[in-house]
Chains A and B, each alone.
Chain A
Amino acid sequence: MLQRSAMNVLSAVLLAVTLFSLSPTLWAQGNDDNRLVITGSSTVAPLMSEIAKRFERQHPGTRVDVQTGGSSRGIADARSGRADIGMASRAKKSSEFELLFHTVALDGIAIIVNKNNPLNTLTDEQIRLVFTGDIGNWKVLGGSDRAITVVNKAEGRSTLELFLQYMKLKNSEVAASIIIGDNQQGIKTVAGNEHAIGYVSIGAAEFEAGYGTPIKLLPMGGVAASVDSVKNRRFPLARPLNLVTKQDPVGLVKKFIAFAQSDSVHDLITDNYFVAIPAQTVAENGLGGGQAK
């Protein structure tokens, strides 16, 4: 009996020692002024990691840790202060009035068909019906009498997410003939199949079409699908990629946001198939940009 109570005491002591050694004082971070934590959207995270690495190189001694987990988490962490900056791949909602959104880049997608397709425009509703499989032949839309090849993206791609959200579709409702992984694959598929329709990042599509790949970018809601119309926020099938802060940014946070919005990261933005915004446009729209429609 005595032995057992002695063991209980011992295990309690062990537990206390373990908890103590884990306590914040022993593991406290060195200099918090030179450290930034950014969390949020998994769409923005790969781009932001690259921007962060370049920022660290230009500002020796600083550390920028980028974490992922989704836009909602970015918003929540920015709100609670767990992160210095949040990332959100969407516009500001009215319930987020107290937060500041800083647009870094835009994400737009273009509906593409083969260049030899006689159709030059489709309404949103027509596109929706094609992707659900309710319209299965180009003839119904005024084209040739051929079955439509629907090219859909693999689960998890940000373009898929944006497309479904805009078309008010669920992925299970899409009757896909081919499922593709990345933009290049989608462009190749549509370029090689006269009866295919698909959607890819607007930057990649415009780049390829400009280099003579036989694809055609369909206008959406009467607005031509181009990087320019995404830039001046007229293209409907687009969304802003934002950094989110709780207060007016100061110090390192301010420096980092300014860097992420500067022209010196545009190559990184383009490399991730997003649309970069020229610095003066950011200034015009104000730092709290991203309040779309």
Chain B
Amino acid sequence: MIDKVFSLCMWAAATVVLCMFSWLIADVLIQGIPALSWEFLSSEPLRSGREGGVLPIIVSTALILVVALGVAVPLGLGGAIWLAEFANKESRLFSVIRMTLDMLAGVPSIVFGLFGYAFFCGFLQLGFSILSGGLTLACMILPILIRTTEAGLAMVPNDWRKAGAALGMRKTTLIIQVLIPYSAPAITAGLLLSIGRATAETAALIFTSGYVDRMPESLSDSGRALSVHIYDLSMNVVGGDKAAYGSALVLIIIVVQINFSANLLSEVWLEKKVARR
């Protein structure tokens, strides 16, 4: 009896989650598809985005993401490897760093936005620019990236490290050839989480990469991200709802696309490594 009730509850929970998700997707698809066209993807916004397209906004979004990942991935991998493989786990510094990372991962994005606005735009005088936005996002996703990578590395059985040492492998070789490939799925998951959070970000970007919907010419130009564009169209532009749905659909397609290719890449890479081993 109790078993039945329990499994029923679990089924109900799963159904509710699924329904909510499909409702959301269906809503965006139904309202967004009529707005979507080749012209929408390939032209500049007109009349505050009510007409025209989103090309400069897609380009800005991509550039912001490239800057953010370009900075966060090396730093994140490095930080995680240090935490997992080099740091003395009993030391005070280690626990302080871990605690700081957990705290940073939970900080609301608007706080990162204000920090980016004060530090990158103001103190470093980068102004409203794709660079400021990307760097702010990098700060934001760094804690997630480090913690997931670290967790992945921690899953590697300790025997492997000992075996590596016994074989006389350099620590560097061990990390690059054994530990990182083994934890690739975890790293990919962290990367995808970060990308998701970065592309969904509005609050932090309004204050850093800005609102300008012109085609960016360099990283020091201000550029509007898709999330900011959607927010502006639905909140501030009278009659912008249709274009907002179109942009939301574009954003979803981009995120799904990145998800697929990242998963595929990590699988291919992992297979190669495993086969060689």
Contact = CB atoms under 8 A, between A and B. Distances in A.
A68 B48 CA distance: 13
Given A27-B220, A46-B232, A82-B122, A65 B212 contact: yes
A101 B235 CA distance: 25
Nearest to B219: A27
B206 A47 contact: no
B94 to A, nearest CB: 13
Interface in B187-239: 206-207, 210-214, 220, 222, 232, 234-239
Interface string A1-42: 000000000000000000100111001010000000100001
A182 B241 contact: yes
A146 interface: no
Interface string B122-139: 101111100100010000
- Of the four ranges (under 10, 10 to 19, 20 to 34, 35 or more), the interface on chain A belongs to 20 to 34
Contacts of A157: 235, 238
Contacts of B131: 22, 27
B235 A42 contact: yes
15 contacts: A22-B120, A23-B124, A27-B126, A42-B235, A42-B236, A46-B232, A46-B237, A53-B214, A67-B210, A69-B206, A69-B207, A82-B122, A181-B241, A184-B239, A273-B238
Contacts of A181: 241
Interface string A210-243: 0000000000000000000000000000000000
Per CB-CB distance, the 9 closest pairs between chain A and chain B, nearest first, are A156-B235, A46-B48, A24-B125, A68-B211, A182-B238, A67-B211, A67-B210, A42-B236, A65-B212
Interface in B148-206: 206
A23 B128 CA distance: 15
B48 A49 contact: yes
B47 A50 contact: yes
A66 B239 contact: no
Nearest to B129: A27
Given A46-B49, A66-B211, A68-B236, 20 more contacts: A22-B120, A22-B126, A22-B135, A23-B124, A24-B126, A27-B126, A29-B127, A42-B235, A42-B236, A47-B48, A49-B48, A67-B210, A68-B211, A82-B122, A158-B236, A182-B241, A183-B238, A272-B48, A272-B238, A273-B238
Contacts of A37: 127-128
A271 B47 contact: yes
Interface string A181-202: 1111000000000000000010
B220 A201 contact: no
A45 interface: yes
B271 to A, nearest CB: 33
A36 to B, nearest CB: 11
B48 A50 contact: yes
Contact of B210 (A22, A65, A183, A271): A65
B174 to A, nearest CB: 16
Given A47-B48, A65-B222, A42 B232 contact: yes
Contacts of A19: 124
A37 B211 CA distance: 11
Contact of A45 (B47, B135, B211): B211
B235 A182 contact: no
A22 B206 contact: no
A124 to B, nearest CB: 25
